[in-house]
């Protein structure tokens, strides 16, 4: 099957590469000429484990191509997948300008029946806007060409997107058009040989399903972070609590890990957009507003722990940071807790030396010109001369360090762990003070 994917960001590249990998012919369109040059030169403009290999394999096989030619893209695939960005506006609503522009481009150039698929995360009712935009362009051309607009939201985790796409737990298709639904079933047939994974529903329900899924996961994170903060006050251990409630099959263990808040391109944006959607419909979502508020506060918890130990004035002190990306296995620093912590430390006069296996190029761009933010080439190098260590991202290589070596390199033997990576007793045996989130350590903060 011939497929056009509009947008070569995270969703577009993973979608295009994986559909090509099962034998489809895929053309990816982007208006960013620099990005297309990188892709045509064999590079990948984002970090996602395994993605470059999939792209290169299918480029060699002739099943995956890239272009900036909108006419070629609209004329190429019967399936036109819109996977452009929907960044938040100032009021928290999703900016649909790129989605509408993609729809207008399809209407301007399509020459036969097309199924237009919203892969981007969009508010309920976006399919209607896409449909209207295409119809308006066809009227301007004086053309009567059939098309359908459906929703097919993605449920990919950054850092595990290839596996998520190739082994989906569900495929949501929002469609009320039999021909379009049949084409989508054919498209996803290679991904559901073991059992039926496709869930067909109306378009608006599919659009809401994506927001609901991310909102639920964000809620679990903020819930556990609130409990972790309470556990510290009560002298309880949130890890024991997590095991106690997670063993209930009605609750489960997923997304029950406390820390210093969620970030990235999805949860913060989607929670804001869902709240805004509710407001525009005359409803209120107090739980979601609380989830957002708790998360914003949680990003400052590690900074407060540092201040409680070292005082408000941190001038002349330097802190080592392990981790910059909002989660492991990505270079994405959008809404990352590391940015909040660094800003808090800098505001109190401290300097920072950070290490991250993937996100340092992006961090160098974000903190360009900031003399008190430096970068190290290894975790241990970041510790040299630092007053203490703060762990922000749970990268695999941070999970089993030599605590004796850490102690020897730090001026103050202290670890502030925003991801609860270590057994408190093991850290204590290594001669270090340990400040995790919601754990019983015997240390008192504040």
Could you give the residue numbers annotated as active site? Answer: 266
Number of other residues whose CB lies within 10 A of the CB of residue 245: 15
Distance CA 138, CA 334 (A): 37
Distance CA 162, CA 127 (A): 26
Kindly state the DSSP code that residue 317 receives in the 8-state scheme: -
Distance CA 288, CA 330 (A): 26
At a CB cut-off of 8 Å and minimum separation 6, what does 47 contact? 330, 331, 332, 358, 359
Task: Report DSSP letters for 345-361, one per residue.
Answer: HHHTT-EEEEE-TTTHH
Kindly state the DSSP code that residue 191 receives in the 8-state scheme: G
Kindly state the DSSP code that residue 94 receives in the 8-state scheme: B
- 8 A C-beta contact, residue 422 and residue 443: no
| Cα 264 from chain centre | 4
Listed residue (168, 156, 164, 225) closest to 195, CA to CA: 168
| Cα 101 from chain centre | 24
Kindly state the DSSP code that residue 157 receives in the 8-state scheme: P
Task: State the burial class of residue 185 (Cβ atoms within 10 Å of its Cβ: 0-12, 13-18, 19+).
Answer: middle
Listed residue (299, 296, 275) closest to 287, CA to CA: 275
Number of other residues whose CB lies within 10 A of the CB of residue 152: 22
Distance CA 238, CA 230 (A): 9
Distances (CA, A) of 425 to 175, 195, 231: 55, 45, 18
């Amino acid at each position: 099957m011939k497929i056009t994917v509009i947008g070569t960001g995270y969703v577009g590249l993973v979608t295009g590469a994986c559909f090509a990998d099962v034998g489809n012919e895929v053309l990816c369109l982007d208006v960013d000429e620099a990005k297309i040059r990188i892709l045509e030169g064999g590079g990948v403009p984002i970090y996602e484990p395994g993605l470059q290999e999939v792209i290169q394999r299918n480029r060699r096989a002739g099943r995956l191509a890239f272009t900036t030619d909108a006419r070629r893209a609209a004329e190429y695939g019967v399936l036109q997948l819109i996977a452009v960005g929907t960044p938040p506006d100032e009021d928290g609503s999703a900016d649909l300008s790129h989605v509408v522009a993609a729809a207008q481009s399809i209407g301007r150039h399509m020459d036969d029946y097309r199924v237009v698929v919203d892969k981007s995360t969009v508010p309920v009712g976006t399919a209607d806007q896409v449909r209207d935009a295409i119809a308006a362009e066809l009227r301007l051309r004086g053309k009567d060409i059939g098309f359908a607009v459906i929703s097919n939201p993605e449920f990919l985790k950054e850092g595990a997107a290839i596996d998520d796409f190739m082994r989906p737990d569900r495929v949501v298709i929002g469609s009320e058009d039999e021909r379009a639904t049949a084409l989508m079933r054919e498209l996803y047939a290679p991904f559901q040989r073991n059992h039926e994974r496709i869930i067909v529903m109306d378009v608006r329900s599919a659009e809401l399903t994506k927001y609901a899924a991310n909102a639920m996961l964000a809620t679990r994170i903020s819930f556990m972070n609130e409990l972790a903060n309470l556990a510290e006050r009560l002298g309880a251990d949130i890890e024991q609590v997590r095991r106690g409630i997670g063993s209930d099959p009605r609750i489960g263990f997923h997304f029950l890990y406390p820390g210093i808040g969620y970030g990235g391109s999805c949860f913060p944006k989607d929670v804001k957009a869902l709240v805004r959607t509710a407001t525009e419909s005359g409803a209120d979502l107090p739980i979601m507003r609380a989830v957002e508020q708790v998360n914003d506060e949680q990003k400052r918890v590690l900074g407060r722990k540092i201040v409680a130990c070292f005082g408000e004035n941190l001038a002349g002190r330097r802190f080592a940071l392990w981790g910059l990306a909002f989660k492991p296995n990505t270079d994405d620093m959008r809404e990352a807790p590391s940015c909040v912590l660094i800003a808090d430390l800098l505001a109190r006069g401290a300097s920072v030396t950070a290490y991250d296996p993937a996100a340092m190029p992006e961090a160098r761009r974000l903190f360009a010109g900031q003399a008190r933010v430096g970068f190290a080439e290894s975790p241990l190098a970041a510790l040299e001369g630092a007053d203490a260590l703060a762990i922000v991202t749970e990268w695999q290589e941070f999970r089993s360090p030599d605590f004796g070596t850490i102690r020897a390199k730090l001026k103050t033997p202290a670890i502030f762990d925003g991801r609860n990576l270590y057994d408190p007793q093991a850290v204590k045996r290594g001669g270090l003070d340990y400040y995790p989130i919601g754990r019983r350590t015997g240390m008192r903060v504040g």
